[in-house]
Amino acid sequence: MSHLLFREDAYLREADAVVAAVGEAGLEFDRTIFYPLGGGQPGDRGWVVLPDGQRIEVVDTRKGETPERVRHLLAPEANLPKVGTPVRLELDWARRHRLMRMHTALHVMSCVVVAPVTGGNIGEDRARLDFDIDPALLDAARIEAETNALIARAVDTETVWITDAELDAQPELVKTMSVSPPRGAGRIRLLRIPGIDLQPCGGTHVRNTAEIGAIRVLKISNQGKHNRRVEIALVDPG
Ligand SMILES: [Zn+2]
């Protein structure tokens, strides 16, 4: 079992850790800043720095046998450290921060398009949500303008924990039908963007919506009777 540091602080770019397990399925550490693939957010990439300075690339991160275990996948030719080796973990922060901006942008957009979310995916260059909605209600220019207006409020995001029973009493909190809420140890993690969104989420988010900048809607497409896809990108300054 690994201490999941990213759940408490998504801004940790580096951390000391100790190798806890070594196998073909990847390295595990006593603690980690690497987010494992899940909830539509890709697994982190980065580096493991050994005591002699050798840098091993982490090419992907996945959940292990339990959600509290995280497997750090290495390039096939990597020299594997032994269990007990103290290491330094370093994230590919530029990539992770883009994913955090994209991820938080989807939370905001999910409040502009009022419909059940049937799917979603986050990438570095584009992200999408699928909605079960009448396509006549989807207007790219309106979605873009309203999402950007909410982002521009520059509100701080908050992590809130509630019990399983509290979530069961408020099923309307669960907007995303394809992703079940991250449950564990009887409590559920929520992301709250005050005045905008509140929903269960185990992913990593920016501290303030202003960090997102702005988004543009790339495309709205038909992915089946109950699936209308809205794809967005970040508008990067400069
Ligand atoms: Zn989230």
pLDDT at 227 over 90: yes
The rounded Å distance from CA 205 to ligand 1 centre is 6
Which residues, including other chains, have CB under 8 Å from residue 59's CB and lie 6 or more apart?
45, 73, 74, 75
Cα 177 to middle of ligand 1, angstroms: 14
CB 190, CB 159: distance < 8 Å: yes
Q: Determine the structural domain holding residue 83 and report its residue range.
A: 3-91
What is the average per-residue pLDDT within 178-194? 77
Among residues 44, 75, 91, the one where a domain terminates is: 91
| 135-170 tens-digit pLDDT | 999 999 999 999 999 999 999 999 999 888 888 888
Query: Residue 45 is part of a domain; what is its CATH number?
Result: 2.40.30.130
Both 107 and 197 in one domain: the answer is: yes
Q: What is the pLDDT of residues 92-141, one digit of tens each?
A: 999 999 999 999 999 999 999 999 999 999 999 999 999 999 999 999 99
The rounded Å distance from CA 154 to ligand 1 centre is 17
Average pLDDT over residues 69-95: 94
82 and 109 belong to one structural domain:
no
Find, among 4, 229, 3, the residue nearest to 138 by Cα.
229
Number of domains in the chain: 2
Residue-level length of the chain:
238
The residue from 51, 76, 91 where one domain ends is 91
The answer to whether residues 118 and 216 belong to one domain is yes
Last residue within a domain, chosen from 74, 91, 108: 91
Residue 111 Cα to ligand 1 midpoint, Å, equals 13
